[in-house]
Amino acid sequence: MIVCVAVIGQQNNPLFLQSFTQEDDDLKLHHIVHCSLDVIDERVNNPKRSGIAVNEAFLGLLYPTESYKVYGYLTNTKVKFILITADPEVRDADARNFFRKFHVAYVDAVSNPFHVPGKKITSTSFSRKLRSIVDNLGSITTV
């Protein structure tokens, strides 16, 4: 089950964060997302240590928390996508697929001429689209 997705801007500022849990644990999710930026920094700044696929957008599993797993994705424009899932195992292809769709949705959202680059994303259609992507992934993993 996907718990939360987030978009983090170039200055590591949150641009979008949506939680899919019933509980009201925004704060906790914020903390998890924020801490995951450390791992992204580490992976991007020490590409040698992090392996061969240096410039791939998908960063893989960032770290496991007590109950969740955090996946990351870094676009060419230094925008980060974070996925928090409660599933113990997410297939690599599923995660990649998810992020690819996420990225397309993001691009559509920021290409809106009324969206000012670098500001938070408040588009409801983006939010809706994400939800459908999330539901989609959920159905895949449960099958």
Partner 1 sequence: MGREVSESCIDALITEMVSSYCNRFYVNKPEVSARRIEAIGYQVGIQLSERYTVERPRFSEHLEAIKFICKEFWSELFKKQIDNLKTNHKGTFVLQDNRFQWLTHMSINASAETTDSSQQEPHSPNSTTLDANLLQATSMHLYFPCGIIRGALSNLGIPCAVSADASNLPACSFVIRIKA
Partner 2 sequence: MEHYPEELRTPPVMLVSLVGCPDLHPAVTSFLHSENPPMNTLALPEFSKISVLSGKKQKDGNDIGATSTGGILKRDWISKHRTKVPSVVAVFFAMDRVAGNPAQWQQVCTDLDNLKIAIHSRNIKLIVVLVQTSTTDDISEDLMTLLKKRAEIDGKFFVVFGQKDESDIRKSCNRLCGVFSELSNMYYREQVRRIKGRIEKKNISCFELNIRYCFKARTFFAIYWLEALKLYQDGYHTLHEVIKDSKRLPPIQHLVEIKAVAEQFNFKVSTLLLHGGKVAEAIVWFRKHVTTYGQLVGASEVGFLHWEWMSRQYLVFAELLETSSASAPGSVSCFGTPDNPLTEWEFQPAYYYQLSASYLRERKNGLSKSLLASGFSDVADAMDDSLDSVIPSVYVGQFVRLLEQGTVISMLPLNDAEYGCYALSEGKKVQDMFEITALFRRSVESFSSLKASRMSSYCSSRVAKEYFASREFVNSKQLFIGVADLYRQEGWVTLLWESLGYIRECSRELGLLREFIEFSLEMASLPAFSFTGMDIPKNSLEYGPGGAPSLSRRQIIQEEAFMLLKENSGPGDGHSILNLAEGQSIYLEIDPVSPLRTALLASIFFHEQSIKPGSSTSITLALLSQLPCPLEIDRLEVQFNQPECNFTISNAQKKLSALTLEQQGSREEIAPTLTLETNTWMRLTYNIKSEQSGKLECLSVTSKLGPHLTICCRAECPASMEGLPLWKFEDLVETFPSKDPELSFSGQKIIQIQEPEPQIEVSLNASGPALVGEIFTVPILIKSIGHEVNCGELKINIVDARGGGLMSLREIEEPSHNSLDVELLSVSGISDEDDSPRDVENIKKITHSFGVVPVPSLEGWQSWSGKLTIKWHRPKQVMVYVSLRYSPNRMVTAPHKVSVHKSLQIEGKIPLVIDHSFMLPFRRDPLMISMTKPEDESGQMVSLSLNETTILIISARNSCEVPLRLVSVCIELGGDASVSICSVHRIGGNFPEHPLLVPGEEFKAIFSVIPHVESQKLGVGSIHLKWERDSNSLMFGKDTDSCVSIEQKLPDIQVELPSLIVTLDCPPHAVLGEPFTVFVKVQNLTSILQEVKYSVGDSQIFVFSGSHNNATFILPKSEHVVAYKLVPLNSGHQQIPRFTVTSIRYSAGYHSSVSASTIFIFPSEPHLNHDGSSTGLELSAPLSST
Work out how close the CB of 100 gets to partner 1 at its nearest, in angstroms, rounded to a whole number. 7
Phi and psi (nearest 5°) for 104?
-60, -40
Residues that bind partner 1 (CB under 8 A): 10, 47, 54-57, 74-79, 100, 103-104, 106-107, 110-111, 113, 116-117
Q: What is the dihedral of CA 65, 141, 15, 32, to 10 degrees?
A: -10
Return d(Cα 19, Cα 23) in angstroms, integer: 9
CB 8 within 8 A of CB 83: no
By CB under 8 A, is residue 103 in contact with partner 2?
Answer: no
The conformation of residue 86, written as its DSSP 8-state character, comes to -
Return d(Cα 5, Cα 89) in angstroms, integer: 17
The interface partner of residue 61, options being partner 1, partner 2, none and the CB cut-off 5 to 8 Å by kind, is partner 2
The interface partner of residue 142, options being partner 1, partner 2, none and the CB cut-off 5 to 8 Å by kind, is none
Where does the chain have alpha helices with state H? 26-45, 47-50, 92-110, 124-142
* CB closer to partner 2 out of 37 and 140: 37
The interface partner of residue 77, options being partner 1, partner 2, none and the CB cut-off 5 to 8 Å by kind, is partner 1
By CB under 8 A, is residue 37 in contact with partner 2?
Answer: yes
3-class SS at 106? helix
Contact residue for partner 2 among 4, 7, 44, 66 (CB under 8 A): 66
The interface partner of residue 31, options being partner 2, partner 1, none and the CB cut-off 5 to 8 Å by kind, is partner 2
User: Which is nearest to 34 in space by CA: 9, 59, 60, 3?
Assistant: 9
Give the binding site for partner 2 (CB under 8 A). Answer: 9, 11-15, 23-28, 30-31, 34-35, 37-39, 41-43, 49-53, 59-64, 66, 71-72, 88, 92, 115-116, 118-122
